[in-house]
A and B are shown apart, each in its own frame.
Chain A
Amino acid sequence: MRKGLINYWLEAIIAIPLLLAILIFSSCTLQQQTVEESLTAADLPFQDAFDRALLTFLASPLATNPPFYTTPPELLDKGYTYGDLLTFSFLSSTEQESYRQLFIQAAQKEISYVTPNHIDWILTFVTPLSNFTVQQQTQSWVSSPVPVSGKTYHHQSLLFPHKNTPIIVELRWWKAAQSVINA
């Protein structure tokens, strides 16, 4: 004679937690994959938009009266562009660093204006002697210094002319922390 279901208590004790564990694990894994997939499909045009914004910024004339930083007097009214700030390789390292800081400050502001809030990015300039970075400027509760989803996109944005070896400009970007939580 078959036993009633109520009599399989030992099997039930083993099977139910096991099933729960499988369900929890699978739901977590699949949710994460969905986030990554939706990021790829929706946000890949960001890369193109960013490259265009970067080229426009590099060719823009220096702001004569910038709101957040000071342009040195020797750069005023001479038609210099932001890209020019990276090309004065004949200057001393101190002067080059000073112009580079001006470039970083301006790039952080100007490019951040045209990139969406739900994406964080870091731009790395690989020069023959050293590297420097420009990072997306957002409010701290939205941005994260490292990608939360684990999915980061890497891409060579452009090459920039330099004395003998061009500067390689690399873009790394990911979905901002707040957006991942909401996804």
Chain B
Amino acid sequence: MISKQGTGALILIVLGFGVLLIFLTLLQHSVTYTAVGQTSASVLDEVMDERRINFYVSQALRDAVHTSLQQLTQDGLAPFFSSEDCSLYQGKPLLLSSPTCTFSQAQFEAQFLSLVKSHWEATLQATSYPSLKKLPSSTLSLAITSRHMDFSGSFASPLSYQGKHVTYTFPVTYAESFSYDLHEYGLFFTTLTNNIPCLLEYRAESATKCSLSQDFIWTIKEENQLLLITAKTQKPFFLSDYLSFSFAISLNNVETPKNYSPLFGG
């Protein structure tokens, strides 16, 4: 049998180690919760938001450009010829039917830029970073040169970030380049302008006598004193999609472009 003294000693030993264990455990916990580096890591994380937001804005711009290019493969000429500027026949613009129903580089660039900007702003206004909730006004410019298309701009005022550890403001700028110059449009209009007299003379039956660009597959039909023309690119335009222009030309009333400036030297 265990004596009283032995029992007492045993209880004291067990209690002593128990207290030691609890003490050490609490000590370790206190070290874990005040870990060195945790606060500075949080600060770094918050400071990174500037870079994250700038990336978000730039990537949204890239997305908008790609969405616009894809829209061109779907709509061809439609984004550039509204029913106010151009009569439509079966949904196709009746090209060169009036002085406003023609094509110029300035008009083309302005309308493509407007298309991109509308897609871009829609993406930015979707729920994302709190700093992007109230978007300031912004600039966006487009420069098209041979084989390149460059977009750039900035927000008119800086954005502000309010975190747990830091508060700061930062500028938002963007400059994105794309290996597209949309020369297909210039080539198409150059060919069309140069071949108007030929097409009017030979019409659909003998249109092959005209010097139409070999970069397109031409389909020409005649209907109600109109030439219905489709020009589809031989090569894919954007990813695996082709660009296709569908339009009509009146055989009786063609407005010859006077101040037409070919796009990009095309």
Contact = CB atoms under 8 A, between A and B. Distances in A.
Asked if A and B bind, the verdict is: yes
Given A55-B52, A90-B67, A48 B59 contact: no
A45 B41 CA distance: 6
A74 B240 contact: yes
A161 interface: yes
What is the interface residue range for chain B against chain A?
35 or more
B135 to A, nearest CB: 14
A152 B42 CA distance: 16
Interface in A17-75: 18-19, 22-23, 25-26, 29-30, 33-34, 36-37, 40-42, 44-45, 47-48, 51-52, 55, 58-59, 74-75
A91 B66 CA distance: 11
A106 B25 CA distance: 45
Contact of B31 (A15, A37, A81): A37
A3 to B, nearest CB: 7
A26 B24 contact: yes
Given A40-B35, A158-B55, A26 B21 contact: yes
Contacts, number: 141
A44 B37 contact: yes
B75 to A, nearest CB: 13
A22 B18 contact: yes
What is the interface residue range for chain A against chain B?
35 or more
A130 interface: no
Interface stretch (B6-14, B84-92, B163-171): B6-14
Interface of B: 1-3, 5-7, 9-10, 13-14, 17-18, 20-21, 24-25, 28-29, 31-32, 35-38, 40-41, 44-45, 48, 51-52, 55-56, 58-60, 62-63, 66-67, 70, 123-124, 126-129, 177-180, 236, 239-240
